[in-house]
Amino acid sequence: MAYVVDTSKSKDAKLKPISLKSVKLTDNFWSKRIETMGEVTLPLQYEIIEETGRINNFRIASGKMKGDFVGFFFNDSDVYKWIEAVSFYLAINKDEKLEKLVDDVIEEIRLAQDEDGYIDTYFTFERKQDRWTNLKDMHELYCAGHLIQGAIAHHRATGKTNFLNVAIKLADYLNRLFGPGRREGTCGHPEIEMALVELYRETSDKKYLNLAKFFIDERGKGIIGGSSYHIDHKPFRELDEVVGHAVRALYLNCGATDLYMETGEKALLDALERLWDNLVTKKMYVTGGAGARKEGEAFGDNYELPNETAYAETCASIANLMWNYRMLLALGEGRFADIVELCLYNGILSGISLDGKEYFYVNPLADRGNHRRQRWFACACCPPNIARTITSIPGYMYSTSNEGVWVHLYASSVVEVDVNGSRVKIEESTNYPWDGLIEFKILGNARFKLFLRKPDWAKEYSVTVSGEKIQPVLENGYIVIDREWHNEDTVKLELSMKPEFLESHPSVKANIGRIAIRRGPIIYCLEAVDNPWGDVWDLEISKDVELEEEYRDILGGVVIVKGKGYLNSPNNWSKLYLPIKEASSIKREVDFIAIPYYAWANRESGPMEVWIKKT
C-alpha cells in the first residue's frame, strides 16, 4: 500500500492512513499541480541534479567516472528526495519514462554503496577516514534518513525492492555501528529518527525502532555540542519550547511522534503537546511558516515574527505539515489538520512558482519587490522537498479508524476504503478552496461514522444528509455523522467562507496596528501589480470596511478580495522629523485588490504586504 506514513499497525495511533492508490483526485486545484509535477517539475529537477553533479557524485563514488565530489556535503539527500517525489507521483500516475529514470538513478546509488552498507558520496576516497568523526555538522545520518524514506516510498509505489534493499543494507550497518554499548551520539540534523521508525513499519524488524529511540534518547547529552541550535541542550522529554534551527526541530518532533505511536510513551506525548502549544500560540506565522531568523535558520523568541525579514524557509513549512500530520494520526484532532491545511495552501505553496519551474527558499510576508523565485539553489533542500510534498497530497486527505472514515482536506476526489470489512466508495465534489460547498456520495452499504473536519476558520456551517438538514455532533474539530449508510446516500457540508480580517497577539510587535485578510484556508496579500494607485505599504484599511470577493481567471484562477482603503501621503513635510502638531498627511480613498499569498511574485515585481496598516 502506498502510504505516506504507515500507522496501519501502530498501536497508539488513533487513525490509519489511506493509500495514495486508493484516492483519485478530480479537482482543478491539486490535480493540476500534481500534473505539473509529472510534466514539468520532476523532469526539470532531474536535469538540474544531473547538471549540478549530484548524480555524478554517485558515479564517482562507485568508480564509474573520475572526478571530485561537487557541492555541499549533504547533496546526496537532494537526489533521495527527488526519488521520493517521483515515487509518490508513480503511485497515482503511470509514467514509464519517469519510472525508468528513477530506476537508473537507483542503480547509480546501489553501485556507490560500500560492501558493509555505508553510503555517502562525500565520504569516499581521501575522506573515508573522516566518516562519523563529526556527527554534529556533517549530515551523514541525515542523508541516510532521506535515502531510507525515498526507498520506502519507491517500494510502496512500485512494489520493487531494488532501492529498499539498499536502505535495509544501510540501516543494518547503522544498527551495527550505533546503539547502547556501541557508538554514542546522534545527528546534528534530525531526520534519521522518523526514517527508521518508517522502516520498522515497512519490515516489522524492531531493531530499527530501537535504533530510532536510541537516537532520540542521545539528544540532550551534549555529545554533539549541547547547543539549542541542534536541539541538544536538554533531553527531548524535557523540552517545552521550540528552539534552534526550525527544520531540525520540527523533523525531530516528527520522529518523536512516530516513536510515540509505536510505544505509547506518555512522556513523549507530553513533550510534543508542550512544543506544539509553544509553536502555534507563540512562534508560527499566519501562513504556517516557521523560523523568524536568517541567522541559524532559527526560531526566534516568543512572538518574534518579523515580516520583511521573515525567514520562514519552505522546508520549515513542510516540516510543520509533516509533524502536524503525524500528530493528527496519533490523536485524531482537527487542530492538527487545521495546521496541515494552513501550511499546504500558504507557507508551502508559496515556495514554488505557478509553472512549477522556480522556488522560494525564504518566504517573507512583506517585500519591496526584490525577492524572486530561483531556478535552483546551491543548498537545494527546498525544491525536491516541495515536490515530494505535492505529489503525496492525496495521502493526507483521508484516514480511517475503527469507528469510520475521516475527511481531513477537501478536494473533488474518489476514495475507496475498507470499513469494518465492507468496501465503500465515496465520491467528493467541491470547488474548494474557492467555495465552501462540499458534497459526498456514499456508494455501498455499511454502518460507520463519517468524520468531516470543521475548519477552525469556519464559524458557520450546515450539514444535510440525503436532503434532510441535521444538527450533527461536533467532536475535536470533526463533524460526526453516525448512521447506517445506503448506496447513493448523500452528504452536503456548507462552510461559510467569507473574507475576514485577522489581528496578531498584542505581543507580536511587527504587527501592532496591522490586520491581515483570510478567506477560508487562504491567507491574502496585496501586490503592486494589482494596485497601481501607489505603494501598497502605504495603504491603510479600516477593520470595518466591507470586503468583497470575485473569481478571476488570473494566476491559474483565484478568488480575489476587494475593498476600499486609504492612501496616506505626507503633506508639507520638509524634514525627516517634525513636532506632532506640525505633522500632517493627506488621505485619499482607493480601491484595493488582494490575492492569495501563495501566488505572489509570479508576475512583474513590486512591493507586497500581508499585514496591512489599520486605520
Query: pLDDT digit string (tens) for 62-77?
Result: 999 999 999 999 999 9
* pLDDT on residue 420: 82
Tell me: the pLDDT tens digits for 140-168? 999 999 999 999 999 999 999 999 999 99
Looking at residues 95-123, what average pLDDT do you find? 98
Global model pTM greater than 0.75: yes
Q: Which residue has the higher pLDDT, 421 or 90?
A: 90
Residue 161 CA: distances (Å) to CA of 167, 195, 606: 10, 17, 50
Residue 354 pLDDT exceeds 90: yes
Pick 16-399's CATH classification: 1.10.3720.10, 3.40.50.1780, 3.40.630.30, 1.50.10.20: 1.50.10.20
For 361-395, the pLDDT digits (tens) are 999 999 999 999 999 999 999 999 999 999 999 99
Three-class SS of residue 168? helix
Residues belonging to the chain = 615
pLDDT at 564: 97
| Mean of pLDDT over the chain | 97
- pLDDT at site 571: 80
Q: What's 401-495's CATH class?
A: mainly beta
Which band of pLDDT confidence, cut at 50, 70 and 90, is reported for residue 244? very high
Residue 86's pLDDT band (boundaries 50, 70, 90)?
Answer: very high
The C-alpha cell at 15 is 487513525
Query: How much of the chain is helix, strand and coil, in % rounded to 5?
Result: 40, 20, 40
CB atoms < 10 A from the CB of 469, how many? 9
- CATH 1.50.10.20 in the chain: give the residue spans: 16-399
Mean pLDDT of the region 551-563? 97
At 511 the pLDDT is 98
Give yes or no for a cis peptide into 433 (omega within 30° of 0). Answer: yes
Sequence-distant (6+) residues with CB within 8 A of 47 are none
Cα–Cα distance for residue pair 316/282, rounded to 1 Å: 16
Query: Which residue has 484516514 as its cell numbers?
Result: 399
Cα–Cα–Cα angle for 26, 554, 429, nearest 5°? Answer: 20
CATH 2.60.40.1180 residue window(s) in the chain: 401-495
Q: Three cell numbers at 493? A: 457540508
Is 568's pLDDT higher than 90? no
Angle of the 54-62 helix axis to the 76-92 helix axis, nearest 10: 110
Q: Which of 39-48, 181-190, 569-578 has the lowest mean pLDDT?
A: 569-578
Cα separations (Å) of 366 from 158, 211, 295, 316, 372? Answer: 43, 43, 18, 18, 12
Share of the chain above pLDDT 90, in %: 95
For residues 434 and 522, what is the distance between their CA atoms, to the nearest angstrom?
A: 9
Dump pLDDT digits (tens) for 570-587: 887 888 999 988 888 888
pLDDT digits (tens, 9 = 90+) for 415-449: 999 988 889 999 999 999 999 999 999 999 999 99
Would you state the pLDDT for residue 548?
98
Phi and psi dihedrals of 159, rounded to 5?
A: 80, -5
Work out the end-to-end distance of the chain between its first and last CA atoms, rounded to an integer number of angstroms. Answer: 54
What's the average model confidence in pLDDT over 552-565?
97
